[in-house]
Structure formats: C-alpha cells, structure tokens
Chains A and B, each alone.
Chain A
Amino acid sequence: MLIRKHDALSGSDIRSSEITPKEKWLNRRSFITAAAATGAVALGTGRLREILSPSSSVQAAGKLDTVKSPLSTTGEELTSFQDITHYNNFYEFGVDKSAPSQNAGALPTRPWSIKASGLVKTPKTFDIDTLLKLRPLEDRTYRFRCVEGWSMVVPWVGYSLSELIKECDPLPSAKFVQFISYFDKKVEKWQSQSQIFWPYSEGLRMDEAMNPLTLLTMGLYGDVLPNQDGAPVRIIVPWKYGFKSAKSIVQIKFLDKQPPTTWNDLAANEYGFYSNVNPNVDHPRWSQKTERRIGQPFYAQRHPTLMFNGYGDFVAAMYKGMDLRKYY
C-alpha cells in the first residue's frame, strides 16, 4: 500500500526504501487516478475501492472519510479522474467541455449553504459542513449517461438525498422537489455563451427524490468534489440523463406541482421532465440505443445503453403503468 500510517512512519526501524518519497506522497491523487485508469480491469473493483478509500488514519486536506455502500455499482471500469474533471457540461462556466476545468476555479465553495423551503414545516438552512457530517459518506460508483450520447463510470461520494429530505420535514402535500443551482453573473462570466435562463433549475417527483439511489453528492474519488463537477454539493440521479443531476445546489424547494426545469424550458421536445435513460426512446436528433464511453479508444467506445441506465431493479417500479414514450 502506498499510504502509510503515522505510527509506522515515526518508527525508526523502517528501511528507507519502504518510505514513500514525499513528492510521490503529495502526488498520490494522480497515482490513484492512474491506478484507476490502468488497473481497474486487472485489479477488479473490490480491490480498487480499497485503493481509493485507504485507511482513514492518514488524512490529507480535502480527503473524505468514507464507507462502502451496497448501492455502489460494481464490475465497471472507472472513468479516469482526469476525464471526469476535464470533460464537463457546466454551462455557467462555458459551453466547451474543457471550459469548466479552466474556469470553475472562480466558484466560491465556502461559505456554502442549502436553503430548504416551500412545503416544509419550517424552512431550514444547512451549512455545507453540517451536510458533510449529517450521515456517513458513502463511496457510490454509478454509471453516468449524458443525453448527448456519452457516458462515464464515476465513483461519487455522498449519501442518499432522502436523508436530507427527512431533515427538511416536508409536508404531506409536497409532491415535487426543485433544485436550484448557484448563479452569479459576475462570477460565472461565461453564462452568456448559451441562451439558458439562469439559475439552473432541476426537479424530481417526491418518490424519485426519496429513492435511495438518488445521491446527495459531495465528493469524487474519495475527495471533495472538484468545482467543475458541481462543488461543493450536487445531486446525482443515476437512472436519468445527466442534466437532471443539478450541480452546485443552493436551494431545495418542496412543491405541490411540477417545477419548471432548465432544459425542458428551452426545448421540451428534446428534454422531458422525466428524462429516464431509455434506449427505446430516441432523442429527436439522435438515437439513444448506444452510448460512447468516455476515455476509451475510438474503435471500442460504443456500448449499448441500458434501460434506466441499468438501475431498473431499483427504480422501474416507480414508473409502473406510465407510458415512457409520452413521459420521456
């Protein structure tokens, strides 16, 4: 193992060859990334997770204390940290996929809080540091499928959104949840590159939001969430197209009717409110039957797209009797 415990390091009987060079130790994140990229197949994901969440006795700044989760997806090669952080749709920071990695440094992630309002007993505000400690943080690897036709496999860190919703005390009349992202024209100078009505807004039906798979996400690869991936807190809804998973959330509203959502407002025929991953319902401009896995060579990139992105066992029951062609 690369990372050693403090007590081991302080001992005098270690051979110098066993001590990790400081430079390497400081660069362990890139080592982990490289290991994830190259070693995922060889090592298998179980062993990999051990590498990704090493013993918590060595704590670096930003490193999160995490536990395993039975809801984590196994048997998939993880997309590299490099690709997850350099291929982003975060239009507040530019429309190019590489723009958020260059520009999102401007996002002020501290202090940060989420305001919970609408149909709740009493409106509450949750500070990010409270959120980080509210429940044990879990390693949750999920497939991530973008409506544009590309996909990744991402080791997120967080806990079920339902845990936060319970703390919010929504009224029985609350049927939908709306997520509103951070927006500041002065910070996010690149917002004018698209004609989106800011702030970014997304929403879920209450049962979707309460589904244990829906993740309140605060980390990536065992570390705090990089800005370009929606720091400091976002949601991840793994069975829906990526745009449903709003980034950098500042407000959660509980409502009795379906909230307006950004891409649906812009082009309702292309981006439905539900937007469940569905290989049988084409996007008007392209087929959704297959997807391009990010980070793989061009001749091996294409994979079949799975119904509900492969999470049907957990979520299909919520849509029983619904015409998914109509409610795409």
Chain B
Amino acid sequence: MNKPALITLKVLTWIACLYPLAILIYGAVTNNLGPDPTGRIEFATGNTALNLLVISLAITPLRQLWSRLSWLIKFRRLLGLFAFFYASIHLMAYVGLYAYFDPNTIVQDIAKRRFITAGVTAWLLLVPLALTSTTGSIRRLGGKRWNQLHKLVYVSVCLGLLHYWWQVKTGVLAPLWITLIMAALFLARPVLGWWKAKRVKTLSA
C-alpha cells in the first residue's frame, strides 16, 4: 500500500473512531441524548469499546486469510487504543454518573456486583496493553514477550462480554451477536493455523 492511501485510510479510521464520541458530545451540548442520557452515554461508550476490540482482533485472522491484507496490521494499535479510550470513558461515566464519585459505592459495587467486577477487571487488563503500545516498548520488551503480554486482550474481551451478559436482564439476548462474532474470531485462529500448516505440507511434499 502506498503512502497517500495509507494516510487517507488512517484519517478515515480516526474519523470513524471519533464519530461515536462526537455524536455523544453533540447530543450533550444540544440536550438531545434521548430519554435516558446517562444510560445512553454508558451504553454507547461500552458498546463502542467492545466493537473496536472485536475489530482489532479480526485483523490477525484476516491477514492470515489474505496475505494481500497484511497492511491491516498498521491499524491494529490505533483501534486498540481507541477501544481503551472508550472503555476509559465508560468507566469514568460509571464513576461520575452512577456512583456519583462516592468511593464507598464504587468499592461496594466492585465487591458485590459481578458485572461491575468483570467490567473493571477487563479495563484494568487493558491498562498495561495501552501503556506498552509504543514502538519503543515493543523494542524494550522484545517481540516475543510483548506478544505474550498482549495476549491479555483475549482475557479482557471475554470479561467485557461477560460484563455485558451479566448486565442485561435475564432472558435478554442483546449481547448474542457480538459474542458469536467474537467466538468465530477465536475459532478462526486455530482453524487458520491448521489450514496453513496443511497447505505448507502439501506444497513441500
């Protein structure tokens, strides 16, 4: 991929990633966030964080499937950091709009409510990944160790989905689609690995 195309795509990615936030800010300024602004902010930010994590996790299987798409790797860090950004707003919105900055409420919620425990843990696991997202960190840690550390994103995503399932009412299936997509992406890795190994074997035979 040539440089102008890459820059254009990066700009578009930035715009796409900032779009959900822009909508919220515009809604807040014009007092037009719907009947339940608090709920809207909390849902939109959490949902965007999960969606971005899913997209970032789709990059490796896509590259494995089509080597022509290998340039996608240049977007993974951006998507991951935006996912962390939205997860952080999501957390801050909880702290401000749900717990009203009351430390007791926050501690009790984390201790007593499993969906909050899962959500906070998912966010905490993203922190070291965001901190080590720089090229310098990759060099310092070494590619292998960096890779191992960043496997934490799988745990974080699973906890994020659990957080979603535990938050919705029993019998509500809203988190189903994203869970299925995530499951497909998880399965794609071993399946693609096996398929690749088989192809190499046939080629070398």
Contacts and interface: CB of A to CB of B under 8 A. Distances in A.
B72 interface: no
A94 B170 CA distance: 15
A147 to B, nearest CB: 9
A243 to B, nearest CB: 10
Contact of B113 (A86, A87, A286, A302): A286
B93 to A, nearest CB: 9
A95 B172 contact: yes
Interface of B: 28, 31, 33-39, 41, 97, 100, 105, 108-109, 112-115, 166-167, 169-174
Interface stretch (A55-63, A133-141, A292-300, A319-327): A292-300
A86 to B, nearest CB: 6
A260 B31 CA distance: 42
A298 B171 contact: no
13 contacts: A87-B34, A95-B173, A97-B35, A193-B172, A194-B171, A266-B170, A267-B169, A285-B114, A286-B113, A287-B108, A298-B38, A298-B41, A299-B97
Contacts of A122: none
A285 B115 contact: yes
A167 B97 CA distance: 48
Contacts of B36: 87, 97, 150, 292, 294, 301
Given A285-B166, A287-B105, A302 B171 contact: no
Contacts of B173: 95, 193-195
B92 to A, nearest CB: 13
Nearest to B113: A285
Contact of B97 (A193, A195, A270, A302): A302
A33 to B, nearest CB: 13
A287 B105 CA distance: 9
A292 B38 contact: yes
Contacts of A290: 100
Nearest to A87: B35
B34 to A, nearest CB: 8
A272 to B, nearest CB: 14
A207 interface: no
Given A285-B113, A301-B97, A302-B100, A295 B35 contact: yes
Contacts of B100: 290, 302
A83 B38 contact: no
B36 to A, nearest CB: 6
A41 B199 CA distance: 73
B204 to A, nearest CB: 51
A150 B39 contact: yes
Interface in A252-289: 266-267, 270, 282, 284-287
Which among A266, A285, A287 has the greatest number of chain B C-beta atoms within 10 A? A285
A287 B106 CA distance: 11
Contacts of A285: 113-115, 166-167
A298 B37 CA distance: 5
Contacts of A97: 35-36
Contacts of B166: 285
Contacts of A196: 171
Contacts of B39: 150, 292
Contacts of A296: 37
B170 A297 contact: no
B172 A194 contact: yes
Nearest to A84: B35
A292 B97 CA distance: 9
Nearest to B99: A287
B199 to A, nearest CB: 42
A193 to B, nearest CB: 7
B109 A298 contact: no
A270 B170 contact: yes
Nearest to B166: A285
Contacts of A194: 169, 171-173
Nearest to A289: B105
B35 A83 contact: yes
